[in-house]
Amino acid sequence: TVAGSWKEHVFYAGGYRDEETCRRFPRTARVVDDIAEATGAALCGCGETLFSTLAPGTRLRPHCGSTNARLTCHFGVVVPDGDVKIRCGDEWRKWVEGDSIVFDDSWEHEVRHDGDSPRCVLLMNFWHPDFPA
């Protein structure tokens, strides 16, 4: 981060299921467990599924994911009022509660949170549908 704070509660990453997070958020864990696309890349070590929470004033520096073999979905769980957005490539998009933003995180992306309370998204990596199996 450039400023602020960023916290994650990981359901799946690095080839494993985080039992502590799944116990803490059992309803979300059951939903995630039923989405093969949300667990497949994570169980192969090429992605993750997690809650990502940003405090107001947080800035994430521009960065790139490790591969274009996957896509990233941010599902807006809690999105405060204000200018809370992500840039991927040249496009800025604001999160909306109950809606998803899907992007190729191998492109440079960054986050700005100028809202008034924490922002939480359910982040899921899944295999890019155009990537050969």
Query: At 90, which CATH number?
Result: 2.60.120.330
Q: Is residue 90 part of a domain?
A: yes
Predicted local distance difference test score (pLDDT) of residue 1: 60
Q: Is residue 119 part of a domain?
A: yes
Tokens of 44: 């192969």
Query: What is the pTM for the complete model shown?
Result: 0.92
Q: Is residue 1 part of a domain?
A: no
- What tens digit of pLDDT does each residue of 77-113 get? 999 999 999 999 999 999 999 999 999 999 999 999 9
- What tens digit of pLDDT does each residue of 107-131 get? 999 999 999 999 999 999 999 888 7
CA atoms within 13 A on the CB side of 106: 11
Q: Is residue 17 part of a domain?
A: yes
Give the chain's domain count. Answer: 1
* Amino acid symbol at 56: P
Q: Is residue 132 part of a domain?
A: no
Question: Domain span at residue 10?
Answer: 6-127
- Rounded CA gap, 107 and 103, in Å? 8
Task: Judge contact between 31 and 71, C-beta under 8 A.
Answer: no
